[in-house]
Structure 1
Amino acid sequence: MHWRVPLSWLAVLCLARLQPSQAELGGAMCHKLGLRGECEVQQDCMCLCFHVTADNSTLVDAAYFGELGYELILFTPLVHFYHSRGILRSTVGPAGSAPFYRFSPHHREVDVQRHYCLGPYSNPSPHMYRREWNFDAWIPPNLHEQYKGQGQAILGDGKPLMIVHNKYNQEWGAAPTNFISISTLIALFSMLKDRYRIVYIRPDPRQNLPGFGADHNHAEDFDDHEHLRKHHPKVLLFQDILQQQRNGTRPDLNYNELQLMLHADSERFVSVLGGNSVIASYFAGVNIIYAVKGSELTGHGLKDREFDLVYPRLGPNGKGTILTVSTTQHLLQAAANEFLQQQGDTEAGRTVLEASHRTHKPHRS
């Protein structure tokens, strides 16, 4: 049974926000995707349509082709809210988006490159960096519950799993800024590899990874994979796991599906500012985010506002532990504090703490 939505409520959520030009453009874009109804559009990357049926119930169709981080914060929780009310009919997204929308009655992937895009204005919080957040129509899907146990089935029993993310691509049209250097990776893995089974994830769209939705940020050359294969064979490379599974019993497994499976069976994450830090925040445990530069840190002068208010709410039951660091010393310090000292390995943690000089504590949300 579809939820009957009062028209006044619909007006607040969508229709009153639309200017005629927006509605006209939205209708053209959404109809091209096969969607119908009163539609809201953002550039050519987002479409949110409300369709009133013959029995006066309301159905929602939604499409989004923006950056993954924006999608998982601004769009997916809103769409999942509509699903929780029984009115979501369908969703559309770029390649590799389906694993994030298992809740959707019908999800369709389109071969479109991701690019910068805000959330829908009908979202009570349409922009990440606004002064006040409204979570009334904001319910992130429980990805942890959907995928738990599947990562362990792939890797088998062993040490506790840790996920370490990285990226090396252009940012804001300039050289890479938010990335973990190879020397820092060496220090991090040397400290943690004997206690944890580490999976290292750094996508390179040039590798044509199945199910990875590339965006407009171009990847740069980075020889981390070659170095780790040669000098740190205990560290598992995500691309190697994916290829092994596709060559074996899971030929249809894609990038994001495997990524979510592994995350669901880990409680320890290191990530960098970007979509990967949002993904890690959807799961239980501690997520240390290395953030050097970005609007998340300085938007509207509200330092760490997004990390404080939003990221912790992405996790299961709206609870998560987020630590943000802005230097490699503090990254190593936070990893020692959270992943070694709390596990009783005080000697290894002390070595890293001394090396970091303890200039200030990481920021915890």
Structure 2
Amino acid sequence: MAIPERRTKRILWRNKMQREQNQSTQLPCQARPTISLANRFSALKHRLQGKPNVRPIGAYPSSIIDSQGCEFGYEMFYHVPYAYHLAKIGCLQRTVSCLGTECFYFFSPDHHERYDRRQFVKYMDSIAQQPHESPDANRWEPPNFAVHYRNKIELNFPKPLLLVFNKYNIEWDHPPINFLSKPFLDRVVQKASDRFSIVYLRPTSHIVHDHMPVGNLNEKEQLREQGVVLAEELYENYRHISFNEFQLCLLANSQHRISVQGGAAYMNALFPGQLMLLHRYGGEQLHGNYVDFPRMGVTDFTVHNNEFDMLDRLDYFKCSARNAA
């Protein structure tokens, strides 16, 4: 039976509108930002200001991501996810950062390790970001480090892996504040060593130092005697990769982690699993940065202001390990 002409026109019109609608919804995903005249003038202005690595493209602050040697946590929180997003849309030109950071930018077409020391940066030009601001979700996408680094090296631990990240350095021109104490570490070993293989990380010589002097907690000898694996000693078996890449491999193979406020906390947040964090002082709670941690990849995240609460939480880690075994 022939279809009436009016109905045929209506069907053709509806199909045309549907095609146009599909094209309009797909365009933003397919469109690649281009360098406009305004972008060129902005790049020239930044070059004259001594910032040659700021090269805007479309609505993006820059196609070159330069960390400026900023603090490690800010780089993990801001620069790496922004650079990865640019790489996914085919707009990342180059990444510039500190020594030993190539592993964080495995997706970069051209990575330069320019800085040998970290510092506090008030404004991060290539991402148009100030510290503690919430990152723009439209141009922020953390890479899947867990998948990329899970099988990079062979790790043979008899039990589920518990990583303990610590630090002991001057903070805000004051003596150490955010650190895990020796009595706390002793209690962690007593409570968890029967269920976990514990690896302890308080790096000193294998990382790029920042502007805050590093102290000595004098805890490692006792931990070694208690059967805890010290990360720097384990690393001697994997010297063919950088220490930062070694840390990423450990994180990719661990579902249970303890850390402290600072750069290691941000790195931990890029991996799924349970993360328990000690925060005595710092801007993260004041500015709400920890709210963004689940967006980074961690699946079970708690913040504690004292070590007593953390020891109680450790029992939940034990239950989780038993269920996973």
Does the CA contact (< 8 Å) of 1:150 and 1:265 recur in 2?
no
When the two structures are aligned, how many residues end up with a matched partner? 291
Q: Distance in 2 between matches of 1:15 and 1:324?
A: 44
Equivalent position of 2:64 in the other structure = 61
Counterpart of 1:104 (choices 102, 105, 108) is 108
Give a deviation string over 1:78-111, Cα, whole Å, max 9, x none.
1111111101121111111111000101112124
Give a deviation string over 1:175-213, Cα, whole Å, max 9, x none.
000000000000011100111111100012xxx32xx22
Following superposition, the deviation at residue 258 of structure 1 comes to: 0.4
Equivalent position of 2:296 in the other structure = 314
Following superposition, the deviation at residue 259 of structure 1 comes to: 0.2
Residue 26 of structure 2 corresponds to residue 24 of structure 1 = no
What SS class does the counterpart of residue 208 from structure 2 fall into?
Answer: coil
Residues 320-331 of structure 1 aligned to structure 2 (within 5 Å): 320-331=299-310
- The structure-2 alpha-carbon separation of the partners of 1:253 and 1:133, relative to structure 1 and needing over 3 Å to count, comes to closer
Unaligned runs of 5+ in 1: 40-48, 53-57, 247-251, 300-304, 346-365
Equivalent position of 2:33 in the other structure = 5
Q: Distance in 2 between matches of 1:331 and 1:143?
A: 26
Counterpart of 1:289 (choices 246, 264, 277) is 277
Unaligned runs of 5+ in 2: 1-29
Equivalent position of 1:223 in the other structure = 218
Q: Distance in 2 between matches of 1:119 and 1:264?
A: 31
Equivalent position of 1:73 in the other structure = 77
Does the CA contact (< 8 Å) of 1:286 and 1:321 recur in 2?
yes
Equivalent position of 1:179 in the other structure = 179
Residue 268 of structure 2 corresponds to residue 280 of structure 1 = yes
- The structure-2 alpha-carbon separation of the partners of 1:217 and 1:322, relative to structure 1 and needing over 3 Å to count, comes to same
Residues 1-365 of structure 1 aligned to structure 2 (within 5 Å): 4-6=32-34, 24-25=48-49, 28-30=50-52, 35=53, 39=54, 49-50=55-56, 60-64=63-67, 65-118=69-122, 120=124, 123=127, 126-130=129-133, 134-151=136-153, 153=154, 155-204=155-204, 208-209=205-206, 212-230=207-225, 232=226, 234-246=227-239, 252-299=240-287, 305-308=288-291, 310-315=292-297, 320-337=299-316, 339-343=317-321
Q: Distance in 2 between matches of 1:102 and 1:19?
A: 26
Give a deviation string over 1:154-183, Cα, whole Å, max 9, x none.
x31521111110000000011000000000
Does the CA contact (< 8 Å) of 2:35 and 2:56 recur in 1?
no
What amino acid is the match of 1:172?
W
- The structure-2 alpha-carbon separation of the partners of 1:94 and 1:188, relative to structure 1 and needing over 3 Å to count, comes to same
- The structure-2 alpha-carbon separation of the partners of 1:156 and 1:138, relative to structure 1 and needing over 3 Å to count, comes to same
Does the CA contact (< 8 Å) of 1:307 and 1:322 recur in 2?
no
**What is the TM-score when the length of structure 2 is the normalising length?**
0.81
What SS class does the counterpart of residue 296 from structure 1 fall into?
Answer: helix
What amino acid is the match of 1:332?
L
Following superposition, the deviation at residue 3 of structure 1 comes to: 6.7
Q: Distance in 1 between matches of 2:313 and 2:250?
A: 22
Equivalent position of 2:7 in the other structure = none
Q: Distance in 2 between matches of 1:289 and 1:268?
A: 11
Identical counterparts, % of pairs: 27
**What is the TM-score when the length of structure 1 is the normalising length?**
0.73
CA RMSD of aligned residues (A): 2.8
Does the CA contact (< 8 Å) of 2:62 and 2:127 recur in 1?
no
Does the CA contact (< 8 Å) of 2:64 and 2:126 recur in 1?
no
Following superposition, the deviation at residue 221 of structure 1 comes to: 2.0
Larger radius of gyration: 2
What SS class does the counterpart of residue 340 from structure 1 fall into?
Answer: helix
